[in-house]
Amino acid sequence: MKIIKFFLMALFILTLSFLVIAQEASTSQEIKSILKSITYEKTDSGLTVHIQIEGEFASEFFELQSPHRLVCQLTPINEIKVPAEIEVKIMNLEKIRVGQYEAQTVRIVFDCTEEPVAVEVKTTSTGLDVFFSPPVTTEKTPTPESPSAEKLSSLQTVTTQRDNQRILLNLQISGAFETPQVELVQGNLFSCELSPLNSTNLPPLPEFRSAGIIQLKLEPLDSKTIRLRLQLARRIDSLKMEKTDSGLLLSFLPTTYQAPPKISPVKRKVIPPPEKKIIYPPCGNTLINLQYGTYFVSSEVFSQVYGNRISLYGGAISKIILRQDNHNFLLNFGFSRTSVNGESTVTKEATQFSMSPLSLTIGYLANHPYVIPYIGLGGDLISYKETSDIFTTSGSTWGYHLEGGAFFKIPRAEFLMLKIYLKLSKAVAQENDIEIDLGGLEFGLGLTFGFNLWKTLNF
């Protein structure tokens, strides 16, 4: 009886531990990055677009031409809660488009009527802020047309400067130019294409390490395009590009971000979708189990001849017939076999007893990440035989049982599980006006293989 109590206590503690681990795992699985909202506000200094993101994310910005577009790529984003298109029509920003580019990758496209004078990107406590400077109206003096190949713009000087926390890079360019592609990756790797510029005559590079720049390069891509590459010593929170009268001014702010004063923007109300239920992958709708256990027979007459404990081995096949989310109902057919030798209490003659129970059980399983508890109720047909030198008797009887336990998933073996079970049965056999209770308590271990066979009814 002490062994039974110890086994029950160990099974309860082990199952409870796995359920706690499963609950923590399911809680951690719910953590995901969400694009929650995109709002904008117009002020005297320009137009600010607020991108609210919940969770960890990385951002990458680049520009596209014809028409001019600024693209923000966010990864990893698991869920989008903003409209696919937001109409702005303020300054030179026509609209904002949002779409799923790849798995867990979202692109936000800012459609502009013309290239912005300056764009500044800041990392905030809630996501990103993209600031567009207002266009500057300047009088243009007409210039006589000439072939672009003969009169290309020229990159004359490159200078670096440290202004408090900001890193300034000033490119003095004579003539008109465009920036067809701008990229900022990993928070500190910046590249920018300048065109059309004379790439055959590049200016010398200044001393840049004291300004917080690790690497600075000018690379000619073709006769009219120059690529500027630089690696910053620290990740940045803010990047600003501004065309000036003398060329292009780049401003970088390292990660010493301070939250700006809160402004009440005009927010668009977005109704979030209903929360999705977490459904753990099933182990297969068909289970084949091999098991070995210890059986304590209830009958005192049986215990006097063969002892109160015998070994039992067998197997079972189960089919899940109904399923709803993580709740499963199954039909189980089991069989087992035992044989034991004993000695009669009166004549002391050697006797042998064998028993072959067949069982049919209706059970319930609850899916969890690591452990699957179950319980079942069913009936038994027990065939038995007892032989000795004097007599031989055999027969069968009906019984019923209650069974419970748990399946434990094996890591990296998706359809293989360990089984621990406890079974209480009742079956009375009658021979020569003597009733013998062949039921009792059984517990043991098993190895279970799961696979899908036919279909399971979902409700």
The confidence score (pLDDT) of residue 12 equals 63
User: What single-letter amino acid sits at 77?
Assistant: I
Percentage of the chain lying above the pLDDT 90 cut: 21
The answer to whether residue 422 scores a pLDDT higher than 90 is yes
Ramachandran quadrant class, 259 (left: phi over 0; alpha: psi -120 to 50; beta: rest) = beta
Q: What is the mean pLDDT of the chain?
A: 82
Q: pLDDT digits over 179-204, tens only?
A: 877 777 777 888 888 888 888 888 88
The confidence score (pLDDT) of residue 208 equals 84
The answer to whether residue 259 scores a pLDDT higher than 50 is no
Average pLDDT over residues 238-260: 77
Domain limits of the chain? 33-134+152-254, 281-458
Give CA 83 to chain center in angstroms. 24
Tokens of residue 125, six digits = 């406590």
How far, in Å, CA of 440 to CA of 293, rounded? 12
Contact 75, 107 (CB under 8 A): no
The confidence score (pLDDT) of residue 25 equals 46
β-bridge mates for residue 41, sequence order: 48
More confident residue, 447 or 388: 447
The confidence score (pLDDT) of residue 113 equals 85
How far, in Å, CA of 241 to CA of 24, rounded? 46
Query: Within 10 A of 13 (CB to CB), how many other CB atoms are there?
Result: 10
β-bridge mates for residue 457, sequence order: 322
Percentage of the chain lying above the pLDDT 70 cut: 83
The answer to whether residue 398 scores a pLDDT higher than 90 is yes
Contact 387, 370 (CB under 8 A): no
Nearest alpha carbon to residue 281 among 208, 362, 367:
367
User: What topology is assigned to 33-134+152-254 in CATH?
Assistant: Immunoglobulin-like (2.60.40)
The answer to whether residue 356 scores a pLDDT higher than 60 is yes
The answer to whether residue 77 scores a pLDDT higher than 60 is yes
> Of the ranges 40-49, 61-70, 421-430, which is most confident?
421-430
Q: pLDDT digits over 122-135, tens only?
A: 888 889 898 888 77
How far, in Å, CA of 10 to CA of 25, rounded? 23
pLDDT band at 84 (very low <50, low <70, confident <90, very high): confident
User: What topology is assigned to 281-458 in CATH?
Assistant: Porin (2.40.160)
pLDDT band at 393 (very low <50, low <70, confident <90, very high): confident
φ, ψ (nearest 5 deg) of residue 406: -155, 150
